[in-house]
Structure 1
Amino acid sequence: MTSDSVRLEAWFISSLAKASRCRKHSAVLPTCTYFTSTRRPISEKGQGTTEHISSQKDPNSKAPQQSNYTFHPNTTKEELLALVDDYGGESFTDGLPLMEPPNLYRHPDGPHLTVTDKEEEDWPPPHCAWPCSPDAEATIELLDLALKDFTRDPEEVYNLYRDLPAPRAPYLESKTRHRLLRHLAVVERKDEHSMLRYFSVIDDMKGAAIPLTTSEWTSAISFAARYVHRSTEAEVEAALQMWREMEHIVGVKGNDATFNVLFDVACKAGKFTLAEMIYKEMEERGFRYNRFHYVSQIHYYGLKGNGDGVRAAYKALIDAGEIVDTVVLNAVISALIHAHEANAAANVYERMKQAHLVNRKSRIPPKDFKSRREINLSLLKLAKTARHDPTKLEEYRQKSIIAPDTQTYRILVNYFAVRAGELDKVAKYLDEMKWFEIPLHGALFLALLKGFALHGGIRYTEWTDDRLESVWKSFLRAIDDGVADLYISKWIALWALRAFLKCSGKSRTIDIWEEIRQRWKPSEVDMDFILKTLQPLIEGEDMAEKRFDWLLGSL
């Protein structure tokens, strides 16, 4: 453990000691510096593409073959365990101690604490707002109308808010402010733009001494920690600093969701000891684990490379009466891959597929991320209801969706294309996506292009230039047909050029660059990034010509 890690964790311990003293809400909220340490300079932050390609079910395509596993429409506890447990007889997982022991939860001696955000506790009072001009009143009416539609683009809602005169927030009633922050907090993927947008409203509220609710503080911590693709110690420190301001300066106590966010960023930054301390503090405060905490534990053991821990955390989720669905099983697949158990992860997918094929009434998970979010929240409530009425648990489990979705295939294709280089398995998954009528996501194109760039350009490889041409033509056809939400990003452009340099040589790569330029209008920053990255490759030897003089191996 580095000295920085020790210092960070020591600071966390001292903060917990102070957290036991709950202050009243401050009259004036001080301005917060959200990032307390400077992130190491990175040339570009890696971001996966979010575009997708609609694909129709091919009438000539064969249904995925059913394996020897037997499932029944009634999803019992034993059948759910069989989705993951690979071993016959008594599993080694059953004898594991929990967190290092895998079961982090223990029943605390103290009472269960509940943090409420009741409207009557708001300050200013719910219907208190500054008087404003007729133009501002019209803007507020438009904002209220937009907030009633949860499908509205957060950027549109934010622009309406920005049309208000400064300082903006005091002109809104309490209900409107809370709905605004909730709308801006729910995004498919947090990035720098959505983070700054959310913090802009938070700053307006702080400037007007308007307190934030626990959920709003938690969303702010989540943005501070998750706005980048890869979390580092800088994001951990920013999240802990904001949590410290929330509890020690303002006096708003965190809830179970707050600690889950802190645990998640600590895990992703590799601060496993700190992550364990965070969950232990959550236990000491009497919070009960729910599906989100168990899924976080599954990720935790995957990042630690502990496959048996992944299985034990999954078993603990089922034993706790939580409902298994596609989200949970996707977490297991991803964790097993991180734990270097790719075959076990593929087996989980096969069992998901089999369970869906046997239960013909089973539905496919929704494609819209807000619908998926609502399902997650519904499953959380159903599990809570089943704890009071255990007879309903089996009924609720039968209604859950256990079927592959876009995320399932993104995880598998990214591994087998980029890391394993097994094109035959990638082709199998893409073919089965068509059968399940799941649209081809843009991130899958990115994974395929990475695969050609990393594994093509050598003799006897499956990643041939002819197959690369086929993939590229399919991508361009979708772009030219105007498929919704599909576009050329800098990462698609970069890996496409790298792939053609590796597999087809400089001449064809220059042609591909012209095709990209005709369809893409990059910013100066993106153009500079592409040219600086590719310049040394273009000026070097022609790999396509050189590979004919080589026998085997990477170029």
Structure 2
Amino acid sequence: MISSTTGLEAWFFSSLANASHCRKHSTRIPQHRKFFAPQKRNVSADGRLAYSAYIQRHQHTKTALEVAEEARIHPNTTREELMALVDQYDGPSFTDQLPLLELPNLHQPGDGPHLTVSDKEEDEWPPPHQAWPADPETKTKLALLDHALRDFSKEPEDIYKLYRELPAPRAPYLESKARHKLLRHLAVVERKDEQSMLRYFSVIDDMRSTAIPLTTSEWTSAISFAARYVNRSTEVEVEAALQMWREMEHVAGVKGNDATFNVLFDVACKAGKFTLAEMIYNEMEARGFKYNRFHHVSQIHFYGLKGNGDGARAAYKALVEAGEIVDTVVLNAMISALIQSHEANAAENVYERMKRAHLANKDSRLPPRDYKSRREINLTLLKLAKTAKKNPTKLQEFRQKSIIAPDLHTYRILVNYFAVRSGELDKVAKYLDEMKWFQIPLHGALFLSLLKGFALHGGIRYTHWTEDRLESVWKAFIQAIDGGEEDLYISKWIALWALRAFLKCSGKSRTVDVWEEMRQRWTPSEADMDFIMKTLRPLLDGEDMAEKRYDWLLGSL
């Protein structure tokens, strides 16, 4: 295992050197050989074996109507209007003098023949319509799976269960189109976690065991699962992603595309490996890939993670000038980057302009709540930007149709910052109130941020984070749980922070009562129970806040 940043970067550099060796233009067939993490279900041993080859870790204010009355701006269709959504400081900035990550020269000489993956049906392996012969029972199961694959709204878990009904090794019984549909269903999930990762890798393992190759997009999805199945990426995920990328290019003989490198860049950034991230984009440059909206948004995140607000602004400017379409996703990235750069006021300004721009545009729509619909919009914007680059007269029309209203992710970013980091309960209340104007229901992540806020900022004098307000939040959460609200459930994290909040604000007796309320609605796994008790035991053995309160200025009283 690689144990340092230098080691990872050296490994990556070595891989690039190997990648530059010329290869014949042919595909090599591999040889046989809701914010809270949900309660983990038992996963088959096959799935765990599939993944073990790659990974070593488990792991109040004005109303909206008043704002609309004050709004005097037009739909954001011009470069100037789009730039006005984000504060741009006057005077020269060092980020205006330097290119972002050395923007690529797209006309560099090639490094030798590039391996490509053909999309032609006749180049499929095994050939199209070729599959293992099936007995009548298996044919019935294949028919059920084929019918389910025609409906992209089907849950991945339901699709996977139908696939697992096939006799081992399963994959060869599927024709090529069915295999690609299956992996696409399993790859498109709202949030990558251990369960969704193991599902995907189980199918990959079946294909590897019978020498069925993967397409570039399927390899990229596998790398994405290896890197993003945990909430916080670390060096382990970076190593796993690079290892899989090396297998993709040097064992399977499939060259990565722009999406592959964006996944590698993303995990390197999130793990804090910024030098490695720049090396990845430099390799993308050397291969002549053009930037698209995903790369520009990734750069905004890159500078946000580095705490560089000017860099994030320059990345946003580059996105606009490249003819990409600004929407809620782009502006959410800017809000997050500015907050991480300790520019909360600038982030709030972006949010306020999003509201005004949405309310001023009579044709503006709200972002869809369904994650698959959001994904389709992202892909559509990518295609529209490509069209506009060929026909610039279309760009203003496309930009006018983009959605820039705040969505759930906007409020998650803002509420988490003002509840957890700055402790400004009045601003949290403002955002929760304004969510109603955009028809956004409360989400478990917002309750988690609130409970964290009480745990961190409550239990002292002269605070807005009082015991009574905590009781109001908890009552609302329990009522929502009992009412079966979507995207709300008890997890180990919400249980942990709820207990911490009540220990801090109300004392041990009330905390025990809250625990009983949770246990009536939630049966934690043994691992979750062990995690919670190990974390809380020192606090339960300590002082009781009902008997001793702390004052931030005068000390204990």
| Same fold? TM cut 0.5 | yes
CA distance in 1, matches of 2:3, 2:209: 37
Number of residue pairs aligned between Structure 1 and Structure 2? 533
| Residues 1:106 and 2:91 aligned together | no
Aligned to 2:509: 507
Contact 1:310–1:332 (CA<8 Å) still a contact in 2? Answer: yes
The one of 239, 242, 251 aligned to 2:241: 239
The one of 287, 290, 296 aligned to 2:292: 290
| Residues 1:95 and 2:92 aligned together | no
Aligned to 1:9: 9
Amino acid paired to 2:398: Y
TM superposition shift of 1:70: 4.3
Aligned to 1:418: 420
Aligned to 2:23: 22
Look up the SS of the partner of 2:548 in the other structure: helix
| Residues 1:312 and 2:314 aligned together | yes
CA distance in 2, matches of 1:264, 1:549: 43
CA distance in 1, matches of 2:422, 2:552: 22
CA distance in 1, matches of 2:245, 2:459: 50
The one of 255, 265, 268 aligned to 1:266: 268
CA distance in 1, matches of 2:77, 2:94: 21
| Residues 1:437 and 2:436 aligned together | no
CA distance in 2, matches of 1:208, 1:154: 23
Amino acid paired to 1:297: Q
Structure 1 residue runs without a partner (length 5+): 46-59
Cα distance change of structure 1 residues 400 and 378 upon mapping to structure 2, 3 Å threshold: same
Q: TM-score, normalised by structure 2?
A: 0.91
Instruction: Write the deviation string for residues 412-469 of structure 1: whole angstroms up to 9, x where unpaired.
Output: 0001100110001000000000121111111000000000000000000000011001
TM superposition shift of 1:246: 0.7
TM superposition shift of 1:96: 3.2
| Residues 1:252 and 2:254 aligned together | yes
| Residues 1:203 and 2:202 aligned together | no
TM superposition shift of 1:73: 2.2
Instruction: Write the deviation string for residues 181-217 of structure 1: whole angstroms up to 9, x where unpaired.
Output: 0100001111111111100000100111111000000
Structure of higher RCO (CA pairs closer than 8 Å, 6+ residues apart) = 1
CA distance in 1, matches of 2:212, 2:556: 60
Amino acid paired to 2:236: A
Contact 2:55–2:226 (CA<8 Å) still a contact in 1? Answer: no
| Residues 1:189 and 2:191 aligned together | yes
Amino acid paired to 1:534: L
Aligned to 2:335: 333
Look up the SS of the partner of 1:324 in the other structure: coil
CA distance in 2, matches of 1:34, 1:517: 34
Look up the SS of the partner of 1:488 in the other structure: coil
Amino acid paired to 1:108: H
TM superposition shift of 1:30: 5.0
CA distance in 2, matches of 1:519, 1:296: 40
TM superposition shift of 1:119: 2.2
Contact 1:307–1:335 (CA<8 Å) still a contact in 2? Answer: yes
Instruction: Write the deviation string for residues 246-293 of structure 1: whole angstroms up to 9, x where unpaired.
Output: 111111111000010011111111111111111111111111000000
The one of 141, 166, 173 aligned to 1:171: 173
CA distance in 2, matches of 1:150, 1:230: 29
Contact 1:63–1:435 (CA<8 Å) still a contact in 2? Answer: no
CA distance in 2, matches of 1:319, 1:238: 35
Look up the SS of the partner of 1:85 in the other structure: coil
CA distance in 1, matches of 2:72, 2:98: 30
TM superposition shift of 1:85: 2.3
Contact 2:51–2:201 (CA<8 Å) still a contact in 1? Answer: no
Aligned to 1:359: 361
Aligned to 2:85: 83
Look up the SS of the partner of 1:496 in the other structure: helix
CA distance in 2, matches of 1:550, 1:356: 42
Look up the SS of the partner of 1:164 in the other structure: coil
Cα distance change of structure 1 residues 304 and 68 upon mapping to structure 2, 3 Å threshold: farther
Give RMSD over aligned pairs.
Answer: 2.3
Aligned to 2:518: 516
Cα distance change of structure 1 residues 37 and 168 upon mapping to structure 2, 3 Å threshold: closer
CA distance in 1, matches of 2:97, 2:159: 50
CA distance in 2, matches of 1:37, 1:179: 25
TM superposition shift of 1:64: 5.8
TM superposition shift of 1:554: 9.9
CA distance in 2, matches of 1:384, 1:549: 59
Cα distance change of structure 1 residues 430 and 453 upon mapping to structure 2, 3 Å threshold: same
Cα distance change of structure 1 residues 302 and 139 upon mapping to structure 2, 3 Å threshold: same
Q: TM-score, normalised by structure 1?
A: 0.92
CA distance in 2, matches of 1:313, 1:430: 30
Cα distance change of structure 1 residues 263 and 35 upon mapping to structure 2, 3 Å threshold: farther
CA distance in 1, matches of 2:139, 2:551: 74
Contact 1:185–1:219 (CA<8 Å) still a contact in 2? Answer: yes
Q: What percentage of aligned pairs have identical amino acids?
A: 73
Look up the SS of the partner of 1:152 in the other structure: coil
Alignment of 1:415-494 (within 5 A): 415-494=417-496
Cα distance change of structure 1 residues 148 and 64 upon mapping to structure 2, 3 Å threshold: farther
TM superposition shift of 1:75: 1.9
Cα distance change of structure 1 residues 281 and 551 upon mapping to structure 2, 3 Å threshold: closer
